[in-house]
Structure 1
């Protein structure tokens, strides 16, 4: 078990790298020409075969290390939770800004903290509490110019924000299930099983949603391949590794780097303006992550 005062630097760096990769997921989803749920499905379906090749290639190492290689219910639960996260998040990206959707899906630290407090009676160090409040305040400032409570702005934005918040609930339980299963499975096998179940859970909704299921042009596959390789394999898989060595509460806060990356990328590609208050928010967010590391 990881000592509360000895957080592995490698795992924390892996977490931030994975969060950075996922920060570009919203950009690639916007560039795709399939319906939002279909883009979530293809992200997982295209990644699953590569993950299974990896899982089978390390089967001998898993057995030698005493890790399980069979199927258990937590693997399916992780996949279902992640399917909910991906489905609602991709819908959110379709209706609201990239920064809003990314922030709201990363409110998982609040969900996790409340869950651990209510169910496990877990208590948090004061510095960690200050860090999580700082990080969340920074994340809110980061997207505050894009948040509107004016009904005249249309119901679509509010619907998208609501979908983003729902995705945070699924994301929180996904992180907790990954943390639990990672003690018994290698990263490769865990991601192969969970990605497969996520894709299967999303498939019927992707087929029934409005909009194309398959890309309309050959180059329409490029954003979907990017989602699979960069976001799912290069992002989510690295995060699964990091989650094995970090507390769940710290993992969820560290992933708040995603709104920072998403906001900068959306500004550069889609012209979503970055105001001075957002720069301040990004600085607070990163400082909050640092405090959480010190106080975990």
Structure 2
């Protein structure tokens, strides 16, 4: 692998690892953080999207329907995940979120009846065991907030898998920039409607909160731009494996910035989850090579 690719992967992992830290530092409601993350990210993409504005005219009614549902699931993803970060540790939340590829495999099996290899089945079992250990380490008879946070992180992972599945199967001819802009904006609108219905304050936040909203849009967006650029040089599986470093990076940042520590069960469970997901991605990569 080229040295420049390794450097870019490292930068992207650090950028995306900061997302959980910014959410944790914010005192705003999760739905507000999610809403402004979507709207500000849309604004960042606007100059690029303007270049491809003709793409909007190609969309059919069916594709717009798919985009609306994709935006809804993306809104749910950020709402669930950001709320989980207010309830549980950065390590637990980000590790459980890393189950996305395995959840996607289960979804493909249930919806499209895709075959599951023995290695994939083993990876599911290993990852499930890791999640059980994390939850057991977070369990308390007097405070169930951490367990609730872990469950919300899992729901966030399920929601983002639904978002990806809709995007991959319903809108194939749309450029990535335009697709991202549309679903970000739609997700922001759904979150805005939710905040209005629940009576959540939209603007009464101090300057530091607005700075966190903007940083939360900038850093992950930079990471995703780098990931998309790297797909010209490396396989999607390689990028997915690099993203497994996000929980590690986020946990290290949380230790130094938020003084979060991990108990032995959370630490062991987190390592087991990442091993399980790595086995799954490794087996997927072997199957890709076998087909070529």
TM-score between both structures, scaled by the size of structure 2: 0.76
Following superposition, the deviation at residue 177 of structure 1 comes to 2.1
Alignment partners' CA distance in 1, 2:11 and 2:117: 26
Alignment of structure 1 residues 143-182 onto 2, 5 Å: 144=134, 147-152=137-142, 154-181=143-170
Taking a change above 3 Å as real, the CA distance of residues 138 and 158 of structure 1, as seen in their structure-2 partners, is closer
Contact between 2:32 and 2:195, CA under 8 Å: does it hold in 1?
Answer: yes
Q: In the alignment, what sits opposite 2:51?
A: 57
Q: In the alignment, what sits opposite 1:273?
A: 261
TM-score between both structures, scaled by the size of structure 1: 0.75
Q: 1:224 pairs with 185, 202, 213, which one?
A: 213
Alignment of structure 1 residues 1-40 onto 2, 5 Å: 18=12, 20-40=14-34
Aligned pair 1:86/2:74, yes or no? no
Contact between 2:80 and 2:152, CA under 8 Å: does it hold in 1?
Answer: yes
Q: In the alignment, what sits opposite 1:6?
A: none
User: Aligned Cα RMSD in Å?
Assistant: 3.8
Alignment partners' CA distance in 2, 1:19 and 1:158: 26
Alignment partners' CA distance in 2, 1:137 and 1:75: 31
Following superposition, the deviation at residue 166 of structure 1 comes to 1.7
Q: In the alignment, what sits opposite 1:263?
A: 251
Match of 1:122, SS state, is coil
Following superposition, the deviation at residue 180 of structure 1 comes to 2.7
| Greater mean alpha carbon deviation, residues 87-96 or residues 36-45 | 87-96
Aligned pair 1:206/2:195, yes or no? yes
Contact between 1:88 and 1:164, CA under 8 Å: does it hold in 2?
Answer: yes
Contact between 2:75 and 2:190, CA under 8 Å: does it hold in 1?
Answer: yes
Following superposition, the deviation at residue 216 of structure 1 comes to 2.9
Following superposition, the deviation at residue 56 of structure 1 comes to 1.7
* Superposed CA offset, 1:77-107 (max 9, x none): 2211100101111111112222222233333
Match of 1:147, SS state, is helix
Alignment partners' CA distance in 2, 1:113 and 1:150: 32
Contact between 2:17 and 2:246, CA under 8 Å: does it hold in 1?
Answer: yes
Alignment of structure 1 residues 60-79 onto 2, 5 Å: 69-70=58-59, 72-73=63-64, 74-79=66-71
